[in-house]
Amino acid sequence: MSILVVGSVALDHVETPFGSADGVVGGSAIFFAAAASMLTPVQVVGVVGSDYPMDRLRFLEEQEVDLSGVEIVEGDSFRWKGCYGHDPNDRTTIWTQLGVFEQFKPRLPDHFRDARTVFLGNIDPVLQLDVLEQVRLPKLVVCDTMNFWIDGNREALLEVIGRVHILMVNDAEARQLADESNLLKAARWIQAQGPEWVVVKKGEHGAVLFGSASVFFVPGYPIEEVCDPTGAGDAFAGGFLGYLDWSGSRSRDDFRRAMVYGSALGSYAVEAFSVDRLKNLTPDQVMERIRQFHEITAFELEVGAVRNG
Amino acid sequence: MSILVVGSVALDHVETPFGSADGVVGGSAIFFAAAASMLTPVQVVGVVGSDYPMDRLRFLEEQEVDLSGVEIVEGDSFRWKGCYGHDPNDRTTIWTQLGVFEQFKPRLPDHFRDARTVFLGNIDPVLQLDVLEQVRLPKLVVCDTMNFWIDGNREALLEVIGRVHILMVNDAEARQLADESNLLKAARWIQAQGPEWVVVKKGEHGAVLFGSASVFFVPGYPIEEVCDPTGAGDAFAGGFLGYLDWSGSRSRDDFRRAMVYGSALGSYAVEAFSVDRLKNLTPDQVMERIRQFHEITAFELEVGAVRNG
């Protein structure tokens, strides 16, 4: 099995209370691929300018990430500058330079068109639809989005949402999309538009999976030094979908474990700038964090503590 | 076994997007007692004015809550008016009338002085110390506090904290007390001041238990209609400590279950104004929510999903 991902391939400029990084490898497709490829092969669709340091993506190819869908176009790569406060959920975009991304028209190499598992990263919903059209028989499609598209291209976004199996957004986006402050009601509204599952990412507060008749919570992993929160959501998506693609199962238990894999990969992503931590991650470290998630959430039921019962 | 609680006995005026309540029964000691008495007998120390509708506390006495430590003093009862936005974590105090609470000098009836389990609700740390002095052989002491005392009486507060086994605060208070934005580091700092355990309440995002070498997360229960968040933290404390007092055990597993009982009682508290939901709660309903918490957090480990492992 393998996963097709479409999204941004960017150069990030990041400032945090603990340091900064200038022009480092980033973008939703890259963070996703770096995380998912711990579990399953990945095919990337995207665009970069002629200035992009493709050699810095070589570690991905060594991990069975197929970059033949990343078009190199004359011009500047997509660049984003952001800064974070002491609260890692508090992010400010300083500037965005779209560069060649502005004219991005996803074209899937023919061998990508047989993908069964698809991750539509946070890009214009019109492009997400375009990618979906090019995939012959998608079996599991997950879509991410953001406030910019919810406001700016709601109609196309709802069309995408009507065609995906899982919508993955943060809590503010879920509330905005559904125009509903209660998260449970917001998720139910989204499910009524199509997706059987809704995954809501809450940053340091963890993530929630809403199924047809079930809810599952995973906390944020307690980290002493959050170096750079950039890419955590995409690494989460990579761990989540990587696990589902690897397992091949769609059971309730597998969806739950997928949430934990997502949280584990997301939590590693924030420990360094760019994809540096994911690049150096070992399988043993991933498994160790999965066990830690079990350790910090598991409790045994015991019968009968209530009086007069 | 039983628990001694000292705290406010108030009349609350609450406005929420869904309605309002005027002069209803409230206060930390009352919410705590209403929740804890589902599990174990409770003794309340507090003060009310001659205007207090004591008959509205009769349901507590029927649940083995001993109110003989609630002094009735000529004058006005403590009243608080607050309002909430659509985000239940977003609370504004409109006014506070201390009334007889301003001259509160806790006096324990003699049969209260043998208490083994003590909850020092959110009041002046000087009064918390005063109560502790009157208890002969406290075995398990839990303390709550708030920003007002962290700013205004830090020295006395640190003396209290040095003498309790568990500090229970919300996330903003933990960060303020430790002057540390990272919650894990803040908890470690607090533990270094004395308490073996730190419980951090995060409202709708759940709660975290920090032990000497372990961390345990419980999510906020997903509720479609949060009617009134007032008292949720004290109901949490009541469920938490009620369970520990009932079980008599201090094992790691019991501390974890205590967190879930706290979350269950806290989640019920917000479903109605005042203590109305707690008043009508049945043991079966509590047990059902405990099972629900297990259902929404449990996952099975499975070996070997990582490649190249």
B287 contacts in A (CB within 8 Å)? 303-306, 309
pLDDT (0 to 100) of residue A279: 96
pLDDT beyond 90 at A294: yes
User: Is the separation of the CB atoms in A234 and A32 below 8 Å?
Assistant: yes
What's the pTM value of the predicted model, to 2 decimals?
A: 0.94
Q: What is the pLDDT of residues B35-49, one digit of tens each?
A: 999 999 999 999 999
Which domains are delineated in chain A?
A: 3-297 (3.40.1190.20)
First vs last Cα of chain A: how many Å apart? 52
Q: What is the pLDDT of residues B169-214, one digit of tens each?
A: 999 999 999 999 999 999 999 999 999 999 999 999 999 999 998 9
Among A256, A194, A161, residue whose Cα is nearest residue B298: A256
Q: State mean pLDDT over A35-52.
A: 98
CB distance B305–A261 less than 8 Å? yes
CB distance B206–A219 less than 8 Å? yes
β-sheet bridge partners, residue B65: B42
pLDDT (0 to 100) of residue B309: 42
A183 contacts in B (CB within 8 Å)? 204, 222
C-alpha dihedral (A166, A171, A173, A175), degrees to nearest 10: 100
User: Is the separation of the CB atoms in B40 and B1 below 8 Å?
Assistant: yes
What ipTM was predicted for this assembly? 0.91
pLDDT beyond 60 at A165: yes
CB distance B219–A219 less than 8 Å? yes
Banded pLDDT at A90 (limits 50, 70, 90):
confident
Q: What is the pLDDT of residues A225-244, one digit of tens each?
A: 889 999 999 999 999 999 99
Q: What is the pLDDT of residues A124-138, one digit of tens each?
A: 999 999 999 999 999
Q: State mean pLDDT over A185-194.
A: 97
A246 contacts in B (CB within 8 Å)? 305, 307
Q: Is B5 helix (H, G, I), strand (E, B) or coil?
A: strand
Q: What is the pLDDT of residues B81-126, one digit of tens each?
A: 999 988 877 889 999 999 999 999 999 999 999 999 999 999 999 9
